[in-house]
Structure 1
């Protein structure tokens, strides 16, 4: 059950993000942008609780229940880039009327899809700031009381993004089983 809570949160954040941690640009900088998801990780993936993630050539559709369906479309509200043998799915968001990006690291293999994402509470942002301060530039956004509310990471290269990944900035991972390859185009 805990896994589905994370899964539901991840895709709600993915498509309707209101994250405390975002990026100024789609990641990784300089990474090859995919025009189609067909070659990357198309298929139908199922959680332990039978929630379904369908990935076609240009969209991602997540069904939590028959009444709860979330989707994203390549080019409209998401951008996907190669990152080694993996992919970064970047979802556009807005922070204080500025476009920002929420990245998700997709690690596909024959039978599983691991999705790593960033999930820090406002109270944990100080810890994150310490983690990233020697890796890349960043901007802290504060509320009227001077409390950290958001951090915008600003890596300038694939190398800096890779250092963020290795440092553990992507602190949550969910696992989905590949039910079957999708023939949707």
Structure 2
């Protein structure tokens, strides 16, 4: 079973869990149903933005149900793939990862600055032929904060790992008679 939380940010920049579901299979039929039920619970109001991993069924289900919400990719999930996709020599024996993190997590960069810094880093480490990095650069509008500043609170929601809210949810789930903090 997959746990699917709907976590947002309140006006105080605190995580809030709006809903959650358990899904037996990750397919568009199940996600469509979950998303429809979420919309019903929210009185038909769509979120401004949804952050998911790069699950192929999410690419189908999100636009099928949410007509106005921006669909973005979870930066944390993407960055977790970096060592596998780039190789351990570069990621373990150099400062590549810390420098890449300083570029992709920087919500103050303008798109031009991001592209310039990304290109310089890729060139410095001779990664111009890395297909995954090229693919991720081409998808930068979906996961780099500089490209979705126009989405309200978008830069606060770069990741699905809003742990405070999730920790509170799991504490409640372990003791359902308790209350959510």
- The TM-score with structure 2 as length reference comes to 0.22
Q: Which has the larger strand fraction? A: 1
Q: Which protein has the bigger helix share? A: 2
Higher relative contact order (CA 8 A, sep 6+): 1
Task: Compute the TM-score of the two structures, normalised by the length of structure 1.
Answer: 0.22
Greater C-alpha radius of gyration? 2
